[in-house]
Amino acid sequence: MGERPLLVLGSKNYSSWSLRPWLFWRKVGLDFQERVIHFDAADYRDQIAAVSPSHRVPCLIDGDLTIWDSLAICEYAIELSGRGLPRPRAARALARAVAAEMHSGFQALRAQCPMNVRATGRRVAPTPELLADVARVDAIWTECRTRYGADGGWLFGEFSLADAMFAPVVFRFNTYGGALSPVSRTYLDFVLADPEIGHWRTAAAAEGHPLADTDRIGA
């Protein structure tokens, strides 16, 4: 048996990209080590440069293999575990499509509502771009739950890649609010009650290392 893969993460309070592969690997049952490099560390740039070719988190190191993209780390876990995507071909295609859309889009939501797990009751100005992003998330969640969610509480019933990619959005809505349909609100509450999400949330609350600029948003 070789050494367990190492998942290098950023702050659990602020790093949305780190949450995605961490949650996915836990949910599909793969064992791994984790290392957090805090964004406020004086030598952050040196620490991350030593492990990640892109100088970004997250980064997975498995033997002599290094993977530095959150979606690619999740896809690697799918290959290792055989889990994490719906079985029906149409559902599997839709799960990949919405995961990819989350990976590359929603720039207003990212910029105006950065992940801040510890914070609640925040409000930001509802720009047209932000409202459009929120409406699009709501439409995706509603469609997936309505078409494929009958067998469980996740977007496609069972946990999938799509849920991992949208997990930081759940925290964003918990922090800043958002106009969601009843279907989407039920999904959000389900995710927030998940034990692994609770584990991440507890770690975020305990880690310290505040980022003042982010903590001021919506306060």
Query: Radius of gyration (Cα) for the chain, nearest Å?
Result: 17
Q: Report d(CA 175, CA 187) in Å as an integer.
A: 16
Q: Report d(CA 2, CA 63) in Å as an integer.
A: 8
pTM above 0.85, yes or no: yes
Q: How many domains does the chain have?
A: 2
Q: Do 146 and 96 belong together in one domain?
A: yes
Question: Model confidence over 11-61: pLDDT tens digits?
Answer: 999 999 999 999 999 999 999 999 999 999 999 999 999 999 999 999 999
Q: Domain boundary at 53, 81, 109, which?
A: 81
Kind of pairing between the strands at 6-9 and 33-36 = parallel
Q: The domain spanning residue 94 has which CATH number?
A: 1.20.1050.10
126 preceded by cis ω (within 30°)? no
| Structural domain harbouring 123 | 89-204
Residue % of the chain over a pLDDT of 90:
99
Structural domain contains residue 22: yes
The amino acid sitting at 34 is E
Question: How many Cβ atoms sit within 10 Å of the Cβ of residue 80?
Answer: 15
Q: Do 142 and 70 belong together in one domain?
A: no
Q: Do 141 and 108 belong together in one domain?
A: yes
Would the pLDDT of 1 be above 60?
Answer: no
Would the pLDDT of 2 be above 70?
Answer: no
Q: Do 179 and 122 belong together in one domain?
A: yes
Q: Do 98 and 157 belong together in one domain?
A: yes
Q: Do 130 and 61 belong together in one domain?
A: no
Q: Do 10 and 65 belong together in one domain?
A: yes
Q: Do 34 and 112 belong together in one domain?
A: no
Structural domain contains residue 211: no
Buried b (16+ CB within 10 A) or exposed e, 5-33: bbbbbbbbbbbbbbbbbbbbbbbbebebe
Handedness of CA 17, 38, 110, 154 (dihedral sign): positive
